[in-house]
Structure 1
Amino acid sequence: MFFIDTIELEGLGNRSYLAGGRGAAVAVDPPRDFDQVLAAAVRRGVRITHVVETHIHNDYVTGGLELARVTGAAYLVPAGARVSFARVPVADGDTVTVDDALELRAVATPGHTPHHTSYVLLEQGRPVAAFTGGSLLIGTVGRPDLVEPRLTERLARAQHASAHRLAAELPDETSVLPTHGFGSFCSSAQAEGDTTTIGKEKSANAALTTDVDSFVARLLAELDDIPAYYTHMGPANAAGPAPLDLTAPAVADAREIAARLAAGEWVVDLRNRVAFAEGHVAGSFNFEAEGKIATYLAWLIPWGKPVTLLAESPEQLAAAQRELVRVGIDRPAAAATGAPKEWVPEGEDLVSFPRSTFAGL
């Protein structure tokens, strides 16, 4: 028997997977903070023997390289991806043995990127699941415009062809397990539903129900803005991300917070918007810890600008810090927790702004 565990990254709208059998497993598109993957392996009592990437990701920093180093697993990366580290290059049709009666077969599915590769999990030679990364998603496909504008239409056409290849080669009951599509900006459209199969996608996915010209025209017309930080993710992943550091940042007192603001650095208040409106440090920004902080802070901050985090509790700070390392904001310059009145020098006041209802407006 095989198992597949899903590791959900709600903030980024992505999923990673751990799949295996009685003694060994493969990790697919692991996040930068891969401790959840290790914990899943411990619960299952398996050793991670392979770590695979479907593509060089444009929306988050991968944990694949470091996870492979820590576990001693083989690190499989599509052969067409240009990277600066040692890996096992994977080409179309390559297979690896994961565990007894379990194999993983690489299927070239260009479109989201030129080198994109899906992986089909086979039990005794029978396809049971397809890890489709940014290729075939739930009801849609991964966007084709993240690599190079001149390639966008060509990659859109490749997405159509790749979807049809998966549909033609895999049985209808095969589970489709994408990395993107759960709120990720790597998805070309917002997907509906939580699970799917090849058979369901044949009847519901525009890539499989529309001719290529109509599909491409609609796909290109509906593409949304690209988050600004995406331009930094691909190069970071191709170079090989450094190990992450989730130790607590240096503590900033009120004077340091004021000095960092005066120096033009960003001070980010993680509380909810109502609390922020009632009283906050003048000049600070509000990105709610409970929202998509990684996406929106990384999208708006000038890249490389030092950031100081203000949180209600150490737990809120740690959760935000974990979210931010996933998009390459590795070390806050400083941080403070507690009551907002402690974040301003003695004698100075917090600032506020009024709130209203729609009826009031």
Structure 2
Amino acid sequence: MFFVDTIELAGLGNRSYLAGGAHTAVAVDPPRDLDQVIAAAVRRGVRISHVVETHIHNDYVSGGLELARVTGAAYLVPAAADVSFERIAVHDGDRVEVDAGLALRAIATPGHTPHHTSYALEEAGAAVAVFTGGSLLLGSVGRPDLVEPRLTERLARAQHTSAHRLAEELPDETAVLPTHGFGSFCSSGQAEGDHTTIGKEKAGNPALVREVDTFVAELLAGLEDVPAYYAHMGPANAVGPARIDLTPPAVADADAIAARLAAGEWVVDLRGRVAFAEGHVAGSFNFEAEGKVATYLAWLIPWGKPVTLLAESPDQLAAAQRELVRVGIDRPAAAAVGGPASWVRDGETPVSFPRATFTDLAKHLGDDVVVLDVRRDSERAGRHIAGSVHIPIHQLHKRLDDVPAGEVWVHCASGMRAAIAASLLDAAGRAVVAIDDPFAAAVEAGLTAVPR
């Protein structure tokens, strides 16, 4: 009998896998923090004999090289991937034995990257699952525009071909186990549900139900901005990531926090958006630890800028450090644990800003307020508040001067991105109100219009 354990990386919208039999196992697309994968192997009582990459990742720093070093496993990387370290080069059709009666077969599936490779898990010669990385996802495929703009259309067409190859070669009951697609910006669409099979994808995945020209046109039309930090992930993975250090950072007292702010460094408050709005260090930014802290902080912060983390507990700080190393923010410059009363200098007090609902906004629309929508373009295209200003959250820190004068009521789809935006505006000295409400409430309040 075989097993497949899923290692969920919810903050990045990704999954890694450990699959094997009674004695040995393979790790697929492992995260940079290895302990979860190693713990899964310990629970199963198996040795990790192989580590495989479906592709050189653009959205996170891989733990594959280090995991192979630590465990002594064979490290399998697609042969066409241009890397600087020793590995076993995998070609289309290569097969490796994972455990007795259990093997992996490499299937070239270019599209997400030119060298992308999927791996069919075969028991007694029959495929039971396929690790599809950024190829065939739940209801979509991996985006084809992360490598080189001149290759985007060619890779989109390759995605169509690769999806059909998987559908034709594998039985309908084969479990499809992608790395991306659970909120990852590497996906060209958002997944619905948690599990799928080749048969289910054949019935509804656009790559399998649309003819190629229609599929490519729709895929390219739906692509949105790529997170800025992606530019640093591929090169880091190609060179071979350094080992991580998750020990606590140096402790910053109130004077040190003030000094770092004065030097133009980023001070990031990890507490929830309600607590932040009620009181925080002037000039600090709010990236909730419970939200997509790694994705949005790495997207917005100037790459290499020192960051000091403020957390309400050691556990919150440690969890954030773990998330951040996955995207190459390796060591915070400093950190503090507690609350804003201990983070400000003697004689200073925390600052705050109000929160509101869309019902509150409806009562103030005639008060000459600025409504700022920080959602993505695709979200804005569905419905928006008439007269609102649109600046997606990932552009706001560079476009603060584009926000009109006046009190700014900022919203997103749920409140998390609005909280980030409100903190950026507040730090810039703007009067701001954070709308902490689902966008559906704006529709109920009669505030929205459907674009013509």
Give the shorter-chain TM-score range.
over 0.9
Could you tell me which amino acid in structure 1 is paired with residue 88 of structure 2?
V
Q: Deviations over 1:223-242 (max 9, x none)?
A: 12100000000000000000
Which residue is equivalent to 1:231? 231
Which residue is equivalent to 1:287? 287
Greater RCO, 1 or 2 (C-alpha within 8 Å, sep 6+):
1
Which residue is equivalent to 1:116? 116
Q: Distance in 2 between matches of 1:350 and 1:175?
A: 52
Could you tell me which amino acid in structure 1 is paired with residue 10 of structure 2?
E
Q: Deviations over 1:308-349 (max 9, x none)?
A: 000000011001110000000000000000121100111111
Q: Distance in 1 between matches of 2:60 and 2:298?
A: 11
Report deviation, 1:360.
1.8
Q: Deviations over 1:60-91 (max 9, x none)?
A: 00000000000000000000000010000000
Q: Distance in 1 between matches of 2:77 and 2:319?
A: 29
Could you tell me which amino acid in structure 2 is paired with residue 227 of structure 1?
P
Which residue is equivalent to 2:360? 360
Which residue is equivalent to 2:242? 242
Could you tell me which amino acid in structure 2 is paired with residue 34 of structure 1?
L
Q: Distance in 1 between matches of 2:108 and 2:173?
A: 21
Could you tell me which amino acid in structure 2 is paired with residue 299 of structure 1?
W
Could you tell me which amino acid in structure 1 is paired with residue 114 of structure 2?
P
Which residue is equivalent to 1:66? 66
The secondary structure found in structure 2 opposite 1:15 is strand
Could you tell me which amino acid in structure 2 is paired with residue 45 of structure 1?
G
Report deviation, 1:356.
2.1
Report deviation, 1:353.
1.2
The secondary structure found in structure 1 opposite 2:349 is coil
Q: Distance in 1 between matches of 2:233 and 2:355?
A: 37
Could you tell me which amino acid in structure 2 is paired with residue 307 of structure 1?
V
Q: Distance in 1 between matches of 2:18 and 2:193?
A: 21
Tell me, yes or no, if structure 1 residue 258 matches structure 2 residue 258: yes
Could you tell me which amino acid in structure 2 is paired with residue 19 of structure 1?
A
Q: Distance in 1 between matches of 2:32 and 2:167?
A: 31
The secondary structure found in structure 2 opposite 1:19 is strand
Which residue is equivalent to 1:6? 6
Report deviation, 1:113.
0.1
Q: Distance in 2 between matches of 1:237 and 1:356?
A: 43
TM-score, normalisation: structure 2: 0.79
The secondary structure found in structure 1 opposite 2:11 is coil
Superposition pairs of residues 123-162 of structure 1, within 5 angstroms: 123-162=123-162
Report deviation, 1:355.
2.1
Report deviation, 1:154.
0.1
Q: Distance in 1 between matches of 2:67 and 2:81?
A: 19
Q: Distance in 2 between matches of 1:34 and 1:136?
A: 25
Which residue is equivalent to 1:343? 343
Which residue is equivalent to 1:187? 187
Tell me, yes or no, if structure 1 residue 105 matches structure 2 residue 86: no
Which residue is equivalent to 2:329? 329
- How many residues end up aligned between the 2 structures? 361
Which residue is equivalent to 1:52? 52
Q: Distance in 1 between matches of 2:37 and 2:309?
A: 27
Superposition pairs of residues 171-210 of structure 1, within 5 angstroms: 171-210=171-210
5+ long unaligned stretches in structure 1: none
Which residue is equivalent to 2:34? 34
Which residue is equivalent to 1:24? 24
Task: State, as a whole percentage, how many aligned pairs show the same letter.
Answer: 82
Q: Distance in 2 between matches of 1:354 and 1:202?
A: 49
Report deviation, 1:351.
1.0
Q: Deviations over 1:162-217 (max 9, x none)?
A: 00000000011111000000000000011111101111110010100000000000
TM-score, normalisation: structure 1: 0.99
Q: Distance in 1 between matches of 2:19 and 2:67?
A: 15
Report deviation, 1:255.
0.3
Which residue is equivalent to 1:170? 170
Which residue is equivalent to 1:318? 318
Tell me, yes or no, if structure 1 residue 76 matches structure 2 residue 76: yes
Which residue is equivalent to 2:376? none
Which residue is equivalent to 1:95? 95
Report deviation, 1:357.
2.2
Could you tell me which amino acid in structure 2 is paired with residue 99 of structure 1?
D
Which residue is equivalent to 2:364? none
RMSD: 0.6
Could you tell me which amino acid in structure 2 is paired with residue 315 of structure 1?
D
Report deviation, 1:295.
0.2
Could you tell me which amino acid in structure 1 is paired with residue 76 of structure 2?
L
Q: Distance in 1 between matches of 2:95 and 2:63?
A: 23
Which residue is equivalent to 2:271? 271
Q: Distance in 1 between matches of 2:320 and 2:72?
A: 29
Could you tell me which amino acid in structure 2 is paired with residue 179 of structure 1?
T
Could you tell me which amino acid in structure 1 is paired with residue 293 of structure 2?
I
Q: Distance in 2 between matches of 1:40 and 1:283?
A: 42
The secondary structure found in structure 2 opposite 1:104 is strand
5+ long unaligned stretches in structure 2: 362-452
Q: Distance in 1 between matches of 2:45 and 2:275?
A: 45
Considering only CA atoms, is the larger Rg found in Structure 1 or Structure 2?
2
Could you tell me which amino acid in structure 1 is paired with residue 130 of structure 2?
A
Could you tell me which amino acid in structure 2 is paired with residue 334 of structure 1?
A
